Amino acid sequence: MRPSAPGSALEFADLFGERACALEARAAPGTQAWRAPEEARLLFAALALEPAELAALEGAAPGALTPGPDPGWLVYSGPARALRALGGSHAGLSPLWAAWAAAARPRAEPRLMGIVNVTPDSFSDGGRHLAPEEAIAHGLKLIGEGADILDVGGESTRPGSEPVPTEIELERVLPVVRALAADGRALVSVDTRKAAVAEAALEAGATLVNDVSAGRDDERMLPLVAERGASIVLMHLCGTPRDMQERPHYTDVVREVAAHLRERAAAAWQAGIAPARIALDPGLGFGKRLEDNLALMRALPELRSLGLPLVLGASRKSFLGRLSGEERPEHRAHESSAAVALGAWLGADVQRVHDVGAARAALAVARGVSELAPDARSA
């Protein structure tokens, strides 16, 4: 995976450095930055600005600053060129321009990450592909349906799930990773929180680690990924899979998830992982209520301000069933296709799905009615 990311350490610092973390700048709610990139609408924490910087911003675009939704926050609604000029002349304001430039970057057709669960207890397909030969056959089927990436996991992270011993996880995933990587038609990811499993999977041919803990559960994970030159998906998870759905609560879910992802991206960068090898996942269904999942879906254009590819995993999730009334996860293909199309429209760069063929058809429809460019997909 080579995500669209800033090209220099300076630019990445503008998105994930201390000043960027303090400003928390992102496209204002409801903004589709890529549709009018010349007119910026940016929400940020005004208290992080020095008086001279605030005066410079007001002077460059008179009348462009209005109060934000909460005390201490401002919304900039004005020419993007003014932000760009200020970013060049005032180092403290460069994170504002970086956030808007990231939000306004052109969108490409999302890549599809097919799910290969080698587990007895995953929420939707647990036990169906537990034998290595069955999991390999399933992965090859997903490639035939159009999967760009295969995500192989040997530990369920459904709500209430218990950790799996490293030895068992290795027994489950390594034969599958090795065979699918040898096929060569799709990138192979390993879905794990354990550095030991990630290391063995990378040796077996995986090139991507999908870590729902974003490197927090195992302090060796980020240095390992950096050392191996691999890519990583960093996800927001409230709590652990065992307890994440026990009364989750947020004051502002979009702000809190964005801050978490920004902090974890900074940690990955500081560990030595190249920016072009980092992607972010808001963690739908992982310690989220229905309203939180919906808010994060709607906020994908805002989260693009983080400047790294967004991975969306809505497939067959329970919040879709709550909307449609379908209680059986395996029967939520229609709901999942709707989420794929909406995710494409709103700016997801990678979509993690069970039903690759249906998702590919949903993307074709989304492409037909949007500005998605199929020839702009990153390699």
Which residue would you say has higher pLDDT here, 373 or 331?
331
| End-of-domain residue from the set 103, 137, 159 | 103
| End-of-domain residue from the set 46, 75, 103 | 103
Any domain includes 78 = yes
**Is 136 in the same domain as 88?**
no
Any domain includes 2 = no
Phi and psi angles of residue 153, each rounded to the nearest 5 degrees, phi first: -130, 140
Is-above-0.85 flag for pTM? Answer: yes
**Is 256 in the same domain as 322?**
yes
Instruction: Give 39's strand partners.
Output: 79
**Is 135 in the same domain as 210?**
yes
Any domain includes 3 = no
Question: CB-based contacts of 104: which residues, under 8 Å, 6+ apart?
Answer: 33, 34, 37, 40, 80
Any domain includes 8 = no
Spatial contact of 250 and 293, defined as CB atoms under 8 Å apart: no
**Is 328 in the same domain as 224?**
yes
What average pLDDT does this structure show over 324-339?
95
Number of domains in the chain: 2
d(CA 276, CA 258) in angstroms, rounded, equals 19
What pLDDT, in 10s, does the model give residues 68-117?
A: 999 999 999 999 999 999 988 888 899 999 999 999 998 888 999 999 99
**Residue 320 confidence class, pLDDT cut points 50, 70, 90:** very high
| End-of-domain residue from the set 77, 103, 129 | 103
Residue with tokens 């996991």: 153
Any domain includes 225 = yes
Helix axes 253-270, 221-228, angle to 10 degrees: 60
Any domain includes 296 = yes
CATH code for the domain of 359: 3.20.20.20
**Is 314 in the same domain as 358?**
yes
**Is 223 in the same domain as 267?**
yes
**Is 265 in the same domain as 370?**
yes
Any domain includes 1 = no
- pLDDT, residue 369, reads 87
pLDDT at 8 over 70: no
What average pLDDT does this structure show over 262-278?
96
d(CA 221, CA 199) in angstroms, rounded, equals 9
- pLDDT, residue 245, reads 63
What pLDDT, in 10s, does the model give residues 144-171?
A: 999 999 999 999 876 666 788 999 999 9
Catalytic residues: 317, 352
Cα distances from 237 to residues 22, 44, 260, in angstroms, run 22, 24, 9
What pLDDT, in 10s, does the model give residues 184-241?
A: 999 999 999 999 999 999 999 999 999 999 999 999 999 999 999 999 999 999 866 6
**Whole domain around residue 92: which residue ranges?**
13-103
- pLDDT, residue 3, reads 40
**Residue 119 confidence class, pLDDT cut points 50, 70, 90:** confident
**Is 34 in the same domain as 91?**
yes
